């Protein structure tokens, strides 16, 4: 138990520190926005580049892990499918993201590094790409399809091209996609990162985890009034229980993955909802309350669920 607390306590303590800093006005909204931009645009991409540029390609591209982690997402969405019929495509896409968008970038990296060591970070990078790029882009595409004006719907090919023109530039500008792909390219070509540049990138990447966790706490402080369990009970249960259970079934009984990729896939699937769904809800002025409440409640409850899961998964 002491080892589990040694892993979980620093992560959740940093989130609590951010929450208290926001609650008592030590860090205000402009600082929060700047901290989030720093993490997403600089620190986290530097960390992802550093991992992929030095990790063996086979360690990063673990297709069994991709099947387990991605299968947890798809399986959860299948469970939700009956409820989608009662909602617009925009709301269904956002609710699906709320229930499956694991906070792998902000919480997954420090938790896996502390629980399983540096060897676990390769699969985490793939999970970041799947969530921050594939999931995010997919939901943007669905929302744009739903919102697309009738004139383009009736013009052959106009609908698909319009959505592609919106989504593809966002992907190409996403540092959370560009940085790890660049690292994989450098590793694949056998190139060496110059020592001074490598030291700079490593130092910048080391700021990602603490800043990201404090930023998560600041989000909780800013949206604490959205604690409404009744409205999002199903989304919370799907995120914290159903998604990791499905990932375990795929990783263990179905694919018989090794202990490390199975543990990482299950732990990442069990993480609370990241802030991505709220960002999209704000952008499109739709369903903001459920998005904020799901993020807040899954983060708070994950103190118990993730700590309990670490007691089972963490070695020693």
Mean of pLDDT over the chain: 89
pLDDT tens readout for residues 120-146: 999 999 999 899 888 988 898 888 888
Give the 3-state secondary structure of residue 273: strand
Would you state the structure tokens that stand for residue 174, as one six-digit string?
């996403």
Q: Residue range 155-163: average pLDDT?
A: 60
Instruction: Supply the Cα-derived Rg of the chain in whole angstroms.
Output: 19
Q: Establish how many alpha carbons lie within 13 A of residue 9's alpha carbon, considering only the half-sphere containing its beta carbon.
A: 6
Cα dihedral: 75, 76, 77, 81 (round 10): 100
Q: At 39, which CATH number?
A: 1.20.1530.20
Query: How many Å apart are CA 39 and CA 122, to the nearest integer?
Result: 19
> Dihedral angle at the C-alpha atoms of 278, 283, 287, 289, nearest 10 degrees?
50
Q: Could you give the percent of the chain with pLDDT greater than 70?
A: 92
For residues 238 and 310, what is the distance between their CA atoms, to the nearest angstrom? Answer: 19
| Residues 254-311: tens digit of each pLDDT | 999 999 999 999 999 999 999 889 988 988 888 888 999 999 999 999 999 999 999 9
Is residue 251 within 8 Å of residue 273, measured between CB atoms? no
Provide the domain limits for residue 259: 2-313
Burial of 218 (0-12, 13-18, 19+ CB in 10 A): buried
What is the pLDDT at residue 126?
Answer: 92
Residue 224 has pLDDT above 90, yes or no: no
Q: In total, how many domains does the chain have? A: 1
Structure tokens at 115: 């629980």
Can you read off the two tokens belonging to residue 49?
């580049």
The dihedral formed by the CA atoms of 162, 165, 167 and 168, expressed in degrees to the nearest 10:
150
- Per residue in 80-97, pLDDT (tens digit) is 999 888 889 999 999 999
pLDDT reported for residue 174: 85
Per-residue model confidence as pLDDT tens digits over 204-214: 999 999 999 99
253 token code pair: 């009984």
């Amino acid at each position: 138990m002491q080892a589990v607390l040694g892993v979980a306590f620093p992560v959740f303590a940093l989130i609590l520190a951010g929450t208290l800093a926001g609650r008592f006005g030590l860090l205000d909204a402009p600082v929060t926005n700047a901290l989030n931009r720093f993490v997403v645009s600089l620190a986290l991409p530097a960390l992802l580049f550093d991992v992929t540029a030095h990790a063996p390609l086979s360690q990063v591209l673990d297709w069994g892990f991709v099947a387990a982690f991605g299968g947890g997402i798809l399986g959860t969405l299948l469970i939700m499918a009956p409820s989608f019929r009662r909602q617009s495509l925009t709301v269904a896409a956002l609710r699906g993201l709320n229930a499956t968008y694991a906070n792998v970038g902000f919480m997954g990296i420090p938790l896996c590094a502390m629980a399983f060591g540096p060897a676990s970070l390769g699969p985490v990078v793939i999970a970041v790409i799947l969530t921050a790029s594939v999931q995010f882009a997919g939901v943007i595409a669905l929302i744009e399809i739903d919102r697309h004006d009738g004139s383009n719907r009736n013009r052959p090919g106009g609908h698909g091209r319009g959505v592609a023109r919106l989504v593809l530039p966002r992907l190409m500008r996403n540092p959370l996609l560009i940085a790890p792909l660049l690292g994989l390219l450098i590793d694949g070509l056998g190139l060496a990162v110059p020592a001074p540049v490598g030291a700079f990138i490593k130092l910048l990447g080391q700021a990602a985890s603490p800043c990201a966790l404090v930023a998560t706490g600041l989000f909780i402080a800013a949206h604490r009034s959205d604690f409404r369990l009744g409205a999002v009970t199903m989304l919370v249960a799907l995120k914290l229980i159903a998604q990791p259970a499905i990932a375990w079934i795929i990783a263990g009984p179905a694919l018989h993955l090794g202990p490390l990729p199975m543990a990482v896939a299950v732990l990442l699937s069990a993480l609370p909802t990241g802030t991505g769904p709220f960002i999209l809800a704000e952008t499109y002025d739709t369903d903001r309350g459920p998005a904020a409440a799901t993020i807040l409640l899954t983060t708070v409850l994950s103190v118990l669920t993730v700590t309990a899961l670490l007691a089972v998964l963490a070695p020693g």
